[in-house]
Structure 1
Amino acid sequence: MNFVATAALALAMSTDAFAVAVGKGAALQRPHLREALRTGAIFGVIEGITPVIGWALGHWAAPYVEAWDHWIAFTLLLVLGLRMIREGLSAADDEDEKPSSHGFWLLAVTGFATSIDALAVGVGLAFIDANIVTVAGAIGFSTFVMVTLGVMVGRGLGKLVGKRAELVGGLVLIVIGAAILYEHLGHAAR
């Protein structure tokens, strides 16, 4: 893969994480750059590791990963999205009641859910002449940057939308999961 293809792939793999990060930032009480960097690092590391795992799986288990990856992503994003919507409906609009940071495990599960597509890409990369270390590094770095920016953009949006930020973030997760499912089932029908 050349530089342009690698950069385009890295950007494509980080867009869903960016959308989720905007919701995460909006749901927090004035997130600082340190929290944005922490969130970006968690998502970036996970998004960088999953194509390597997919690449390794691609050498021996491609049919199994491709058969279930979209269902795994959809289920995780649906559950996380519903959880965010529930919290948004029960949350007060008081800025003081918003958390100042998200827990590590919540971020890690969300990061994994948005990186299932990178896992599938890694499977595909096992069958072409691609340097998996370079591609995974580019995906991880792009995700780190996009998520960090997304949390900071969400910070500004959080002031505008108040408690609805959690609702919007949950809906975004569900839409991303449904889009992944629709895309994979649409390819299977062709």
Structure 2
Amino acid sequence: MIEVIFLAVALSMDAFAVSIGLGSKGDKASLSSLALKAGIWFGLFQGLMPLIGYLAGHGVLGWVEAYAPWIAFGLLALIGGKMIYESLGEGVEEEISVVTNRVMLTLAIATSIDAMAAGFTLTLLEVNAFLACLIIAVTTFVFSWIGVFVGYRSGTWLESRAELFGGIVLILIGLKVLLF
């Protein structure tokens, strides 16, 4: 179960980083509602996407069982590497002036696509997938909610560090699946 907690924290780092960015641009009057909105959108999608990945992975596990640890490692290393790369880059960020539901939907999908791929690894961890997805959703809600307030207080300097941390944790989980 400890792997699920580490996975939940690592997967929530994208949403945490985006929430920091949202909070850094927010105003004090609407901060609480923005934090709640970010938590709900990101938590919901981060909880659903791994479930989709798990169901897809569970369906094909019999065909790829011999290679499953390598596939899981490859997916987690790829996702983790991408997060590390993005955290170190000077990427062009789109300025968001109004946080509508459409904007939140787009951000929620964008930050949770990786979670779908990571959901495949739940078939190898021998855990209750629904409980794992609930833990991921709640963890992401909490990190996103906190991220908005952290962003308001600190600006954007934590964004890349959160993604870097998440990427490293995903690679370590991939190594654990592969080696143990």
Specify if TM > 0.5: yes
Contact 1:49 1:136 in 2 (8 A): yes
CA separation of 1:172/1:116 partners in 2, compared to 1, >3 Å: closer, same or farther?
Answer: farther
CA separation of 1:179/1:55 partners in 2, compared to 1, >3 Å: closer, same or farther?
Answer: closer
User: SS at 1:32's partner residue?
Assistant: helix
Q: Which runs of 5+ in 1 are unaligned?
A: 92-96, 159-164
Larger RCO of the pair (alpha carbons < 8 Å, separation 6+): 2
Aligned to 1:157: 154
Aligned to 2:54: 55
User: SS at 1:29's partner residue?
Assistant: coil
Structure 2: distance between partners of 1:41 and 1:180: 23
Contact 1:21 1:148 in 2 (8 A): no
Aligned to 2:167: 177
Q: RMSD between aligned alpha carbons? A: 3.8
Give per-residue Cα distances to partners, 1:106-128, cap 9 Å, x unaligned: 34212333x36851452235x45
Contact 1:22 1:151 in 2 (8 A): yes
Q: Aligned AA for 2:9?
A: T
Is residue 77 from structure 1 mapped to residue 83 from structure 2 by the alignment?
yes
CA separation of 1:49/1:153 partners in 2, compared to 1, >3 Å: closer, same or farther?
Answer: same
Aligned to 2:43: 44
Contact 2:51 2:116 in 1 (8 A): no
Task: Report the TM-score, using the length of structure 2 for normalisation.
Answer: 0.64
Task: Report the TM-score, using the length of structure 1 for normalisation.
Answer: 0.62
After TM superposition, give the deviation of residue 187 of structure 1 in Å: 5.8
Structure 1: distance between partners of 2:6 and 2:176: 19
Superposed counterparts of 1:1-190, under 5 Å: 11-16=5-10, 17=12, 19-20=16-17, 23-30=20-27, 32-56=31-55, 57-61=57-61, 63=68, 65-74=71-80, 76-78=82-84, 80-81=86-87, 85-87=90-92, 99=97, 101=99, 103-104=103-104, 105-113=106-114, 115=115, 119-124=119-124, 127=126, 130=128, 132-158=129-155, 165=156, 167-185=157-175, 188=178
Q: Which runs of 5+ in 2 are unaligned?
A: none
Count of residues in correspondence between the two structures: 165
